[in-house]
Amino acid sequence: MRLVFSLLVIVLLSIPSALFAETKEIISEGTYNMGDGETPSVAESRALLKAKQIAVEQAGTYVESYSKVKNITLTQDEIQVLASGLMEVEILDKKRTVVGDGINFWVKIKAKVNPVKMEEMAKRVKEKSALEDYNGIQDAYAKSQKEIEELKQQLIVANSEYKKDLVKKKIEDDEMLFKSNQFYDAARQYYLDNKYDDAVNALTNAMNLTPNQGKIYNARGIIYAKLGQHDKAIDDFNRAVTIVPDFAKAYSNRGLAYEETGQYEKAIDDHSKAIALDPENVVAYVNRGLVYHSKGQSDRAIADFNKAIAIKPKQGRAYYSRGLVYDKKGLRNKAMKDYSKAIAVEPNATAYFIRALSYISKGDHQRAISDMNMAITLNPNYVGAYKARGDIYSDINQYSKALADYNRAIAIQQTNAAAYKGRGRIYFVEQHYERALADYASALIINESDAEAFIGRGLSYVMLNNKKDAISDFQKACDMGDENGCALLLKTLKEN
């Protein structure tokens, strides 16, 4: 109960900042004239789309001004993507009016733009794929609109039932693609909002309508990978490259999934295919370099990072990845230069985090804390940075600050066993043994094979005079190996 209460307090404390954020409301309208061969539901969707596109333009102005206040740097394209992702749309009114031989559809909407998630979502928007998807779907909508207008004209001049049926079939196919693109667009917005299950469902609906679009399988594969369902991701990437054999990004994405499942040779093959299809593919070079790094092939890894940097000198990820290899080779000075270079050319939370870890290894706690602070400033939900900074504060006996960081890490990710163990250690040192016990128990719920957590809980039982359960926990830790000194603890406890 105490653990649940503390988490509840954290959540409640986070609410006030959200309440003060100003929500922008935009009213817009859209119309569409339905012709022969079209279906009313799609015609209404086209009218709604126009209303949304008008609202996005207005929302973009608001997002731009708000982002400047918050010192968030965005390009014009990124502003439009972010605006579309932040909008919540409510239909206020709609009607149909007969006009000549067709029907006019009119829709009025209210779009709310809540800036609460702007900083978090802005980081997702800066992913190149998010921007490309948005531009791609807008191009698809424009193409569909042009084609449907041409088909309606063809239907008017068709001079036989056979020709009319052919045109109507093309209109039906165009509508099917339009509906599929709507699901794809919805999935893109769900992804930006971290609603991965909803994104998967939307993409599956898109597939059911248009099963031969490689981009949809690739997109769903990316979501499955985010969810840790790498086998499903690989299956989707397989379908993507089967449909589109020269789909470089799908090969690279499959390579990442293979790496996550320890299939390094397959990962290297896929990244190599991506590079062969797109020799300027910086991401594929970096990804392949990281696989080489995992395999201990440092020279090949460095060669790939060098190539990525040569193609794109302001590629921060290539610099800090190369720094990791230098660190592993014991070339600390070169590693530190690369971490600093990564921050200089492309400041991001990961680069600061990695450099902070390097400072920790050198025992430079203050610089490590400074870099962790920057990582958290750039990514306020960076669980690893909170946990790592908590470890630093714990090491230098600043327990209240350590607790605050562990609490934040747990609030963001309640399945973070390491944060529970860190907080448990602090509670143990401060003689709050019941709290320590609860945290180690939470860590074991997440990972029932954590010897360190068994030792921590066992020690808590000892301090609470529960010898029986302490012996049980030490024995479980010993069964996993004697790296934590459990045998000595077990022997001492049994003899006393």
pLDDT for 196-237, tens place per residue? Answer: 999 999 999 999 999 999 999 999 999 999 999 999 999 999
Mean predicted confidence (pLDDT) in 132-146: 88
> Percent of the chain, pLDDT > 70?
94
> Between these two residues, 138 and 490, which has the higher pLDDT value?
138
- Output 322 or 22, whichever has higher pLDDT: 322
Please tell me the predicted confidence (pLDDT) of residue 484.
Answer: 60
pLDDT for residue 11 is more than 60: no
pLDDT of residue 96: 94
Exposure string over 253-284, b if 16+ CB within 10 A, otherwise e: bbbbbbbeeebbebbbbbbebbbebbeebbbb
- Once rounded to an integer, what is the mean pLDDT over residues 35-61? 92
What confidence tier does 1 reach under pLDDT thresholds 50, 70, 90? very low
Residue 85's alpha-carbon distances to 5, 56, 118, 130, 369, in angstroms, are 33, 9, 9, 10, 33
CA distance 406 to 386: 7
Ranges of beta strands (E only) in 35-150 are 87-99, 102-113
For residue 9, the model assigns a pLDDT of 35
pLDDT at 359 over 70: yes
Cβ count near 131 (within 10 Å)? 16
| DSSP E strand boundaries for 186-335 | none
- The yes-or-no verdict on residue 312 having pLDDT over 50 is yes
Confidence band for 5, pLDDT divided at 50, 70 and 90: very low
Long-range (24+ apart) CB contacts under 8 A made by 339-345 are 342/316, 342/317, 342/318, 343/316, 345/313, 345/314, 345/315, 345/316, 345/319
Whether the pTM exceeds 0.85: the reply is: no
Cβ(190)–Cβ(84) below 8 Å: no
What band does 18 get if pLDDT is binned at 50, 70 and 90? very low
CA 340 to the chain's CA centroid: 25
Task: For residue range 377-434, list pLDDT tens digits in order.
Answer: 988 889 999 999 999 999 999 999 999 999 999 999 999 999 999 999 999 999 999 9
Above 80 in pLDDT, residue 36?
yes
Lowest mean pLDDT among 40-44, 297-301, 484-488: 484-488
Residue recorded with tokens 């569409």: 32
End-to-end CA distance of the chain: 32
Question: For residue 21, what pLDDT is reported?
Answer: 53
Residue 128 is predicted with a pLDDT of 63
Q: pLDDT tens for residues 227-268?
A: 999 999 999 999 999 999 999 999 999 999 999 999 999 999
Tokens encoding 101: 């031989």
DSSP state of 22: P
CA distances from residue 312 to 113, 128, 282, 305 in whole angstroms, order as listed? 35, 14, 7, 10
pLDDT of residue 494: 74
Task: Indicate the average pLDDT of the chain.
Answer: 89
How many CA atoms lie within 13 Å of 414's alpha carbon, on the beta-carbon side? 8
Distance CA 126, CA 110 (A): 27
Average confidence (pLDDT) over 121-150: 82
Render pLDDT for 54-97 as a digit per residue (tens, 0 to 9).
999 998 888 888 887 777 778 888 888 888 888 899 999 999 99
